[in-house]
A and B are shown apart, each in its own frame.
Chain A
Amino acid sequence: QQPVQSPQAVILREGEDAVINCSSSKALYSVHWYRQKHGEAPVFLMILLKGGEQKGHEKISASFNEKKQQSSLYLTASQLSYSGTYFCGTADTNAGKSTFGDGTTLTVKP
């Protein structure tokens, strides 16, 4: 079952914050986040394993609520370079099968 991402698209001004949500109907082993710029391959941002942890990398962080089967990606003080499509991927085991959401397109304007 494919995870559901929301919103589908968001437009920000530089310096504004954004939250992208990822929700699954299945119990999850892990949630991983990627950013893809137009015409390029997806690039790994971070992974969260079951246990409800939160991770961060500079101004991009994420949380994983195992009980609610939800993850959120937080982008603070957005920069122009944050523009792209963000995908969440989920796995219900560590066996290699991954399912991705349809993506959230983030546009950061000057």
Chain B
Amino acid sequence: EAQVTQNPRYLITVTGKKLTVTCSQNMNHEYMSWYRQDPGLGLRQIYYSMNVEVTDKGDVPEGYKVSRKEKRNFPLILESPSPNQTSLYFCASTGGGYEQFFGPGTRLTVL
């Protein structure tokens, strides 16, 4: 089954404790993205990647890092999380027709 998976689905952590949210797709897509979704603010792109080792900033990249060492994986790294990074995070993979397939989401709470 074609899908985008994210782990963990829920995470509660404390300020400053480094964390990684994994994202994996099995559709051999070149483009992948990370978004955060906050109430009333829609989806905001954090980072995107056009291929292995090629990443670029989206609209809200501050406080986040990404890497793309393999085509299928695109982890999101928060080196020193802060409470304002409490949000719902979605990973997405873009198909040949430019449609984006979203993962199930990761709900992050930073205390």
Contacts and interface: CB of A to CB of B under 8 A. Distances in A.
Do A and B come together as binding partners?
A: yes
Interface of A: 2, 30, 32, 34, 40-44, 47, 49, 87, 89, 91, 94-103
Which of under 10, 10 to 19, 20 to 34, or 35 or more describes the interface residues of B?
20 to 34
A44 B101 contact: yes
B99 A42 contact: no
Interface of B: 31, 33, 35, 40-45, 48-50, 56, 58-59, 90, 94, 97-105
Contact of B45 (A34, A95, A99, A101): A99
Given A32-B99, A43-B102, A96 B31 contact: yes
B99 A47 contact: yes
A44 B59 contact: no
B104 A94 contact: no
B56 A96 contact: yes
Contact of B49 (A87, A96, A98): A96
Given A96-B31, A96-B56, A102-B40, A32 B100 contact: yes
Contacts of B33: 96, 98
Contacts of A43: 102
Contact of A94 (B49, B56, B98, B105): B98
Contact of A97 (B40, B42, B58): B58
A56 B42 CA distance: 24
Contacts of A100: 35, 42-45
